[in-house]
Structure formats: C-alpha cells, structure tokens
Copies of this chain bind each other. A is one copy, B any other.
Amino acid sequence: MLREMLIRFRDGDITLEEAMKEIEGLRIETIGEFARIDLGRMMRCGMPEVVLAEGKEPGHIKQIVAGIVAARRICIVSRLSTPEDGEIRRFAEEKGFQVRYNERARMMVISTGARTPLTGGVVAVITAGTSDIGVAEEARVIAEEMGCRVCTAYDVGAAGIHRLFPALRDCLDAHAFVVAAGREGTLPAVVAGLVDRPVIGVPVSTGYGYMGKGRAALASMLQSCSVLTVVNIDAGFTAGASAALIANMVVDGR
C-alpha cells in the first residue's frame, strides 16, 4: 500500500501534499493500531466483550449492546438482575439478534448468528457446594463462547469427597480446571493435588463470621502449597476465560 502510494507520487498521480497527508495518516494509524492491540488480542482468542450490567441502567446497557454486537457480532451481558433480563432480551430479539440466557450465571449472550464452533479445547468446571454454582456457570458461559467444551461437576465437596473421584475421572481430558469454592475454600488445592493440569481457583462469597464472604477461601487458596493460581472473589468470568485461553492454546499446539 505504501509502495503503491510512493509510485503514484513519483509518477505524478498524487501531489506532494497528498503524499504527505497519506504518510501522516499512516503515523496516526500506527498509534491507533498500537492502542487497539487489546481489541485485536480479544478477537484473536475469540474472547467476546463483556458488559457488566450491575450499576448500569437498562437504557444504557441496550445502547452499549447494540454498539458492540454491530462491531463484533457478539456481546455478553453479565450480572443481570431479574427485572432487567426480560427487557434486554426483548430489545435484542426485536433487533433480530440471537439471545442465549443462562439464569444461574445471570449472563446473556447476544449475537448476530450461530454459536461459536468448537475448538476442541476442554475446560472442567467444578464446585464444592451448590452455592458456588452461579459463579461456576459464569465460567462455563464464557468458556463455551470461546469454543470450548465444558464438563461440570457441581457440589462434589458438599456431599462428601467420595463424589470428587468419579467427577475427576469424567474430566480427565480437560485441558484446564476451574474450581469454585466458598467458606474455607480448600477444594481447588485438593484438585490441584490430583490432576496434572493447570487449576484456577475461584473464591466464592459464601460463609459468614470471621473472614466470611469468600475472604477465607481467597486466603487459603493463596497460602496453599499446591501449584494453583487464583482470581478475585466471585470472578467466574476471569477464571473461565483464562482456562479457555489455555485449552485453546493446547489444542492449537502453539
């Protein structure tokens, strides 16, 4: 492109001013390209943009959703409250968008077309108790939207550890594990001690009293001797996206 422009300039097809303007444009484009790297990255890994609904008005959410779907063909809305979900869904369907709503995750996937094709990546999502399922589903939705197959094993801690082993056996082909747990939050370290795959712990804001609301879980995950990485309390999305990123890399082999 630069080559052509220079030739057209040498050949007198464009003036000196026009050439300079085009080159200046390149510079600006350079900064822009530089700054837009993060968007590029997101697209390259197939990670859709996520809009946090919490603390935004429905009107505002609709406007953002419309913009993102137009530009990127897909948009995820997270932490939707019950009265709002119907309103956003109606808006999206009227626009002719596809809508998939996961109630337990409180996440809505809005897109112009069909589901992301499977990449071959496999992510396991495991929870200690039933209260951890909402956060786990957040991880599942994003991992599926990034093309991974997700195998889940919920409530393996609460009903006794004897449920953990069959669950792990069913997930043996997973490339990465997301393990959500509240209260004392020890399940991620237990899983990390049993599988030879990366494990990402998600502390869940359950538990009362001293260091409740997920803080004890965060603390014990960070203090664990296991090879385990951690995300913020209730940050199912970040854990799911990290796991899917790893799974897709393994499948790609690079």
Contact = CB atoms under 8 A, between A and B. Distances in A.
Interface of A: 2-3, 6-7, 9-10, 16, 19-20, 23-24, 26-27, 30-32, 34-39, 41, 44-45, 47, 55-56, 60, 130-131, 158, 160-162, 164-165, 175, 183-186, 189, 193-198, 200, 203, 205-212, 214-225, 227-235, 238-239, 241-242, 245-246, 249-254
A60 to B, nearest CB: 7
Contacts of A186: 184, 186, 189, 220
B35 A6 contact: no
A36 to B, nearest CB: 5
B222 A228 contact: no
A250 to B, nearest CB: 5
Interface of A is mostly: helix
Contacts of A212: 223, 233
Contact of A20 (B3, B203, B233): B3
Given A229-B239, A231-B230, A223 B198 contact: no
Given A186-B189, A216-B223, A222-B216, A249 B162 contact: no
Given A55-B131, A223-B207, A200 B184 contact: no
Most interface-central of A44, A195, A210 (chain B CB within 10 A): A210
Number of copies: 8
A215 B219 contact: yes
B224 A229 contact: no
Given A9-B6, A196-B44, A250-B250, A184 B220 contact: yes
Contacts of A233: 208-210, 212, 222
A175 to B, nearest CB: 7
A36 B165 CA distance: 11
Given A131-B55, A196-B45, A197-B249, A209 B205 contact: yes
A31 B234 CA distance: 33
Contacts of A205: 208-209
B193 A223 contact: no
B209 A222 contact: yes
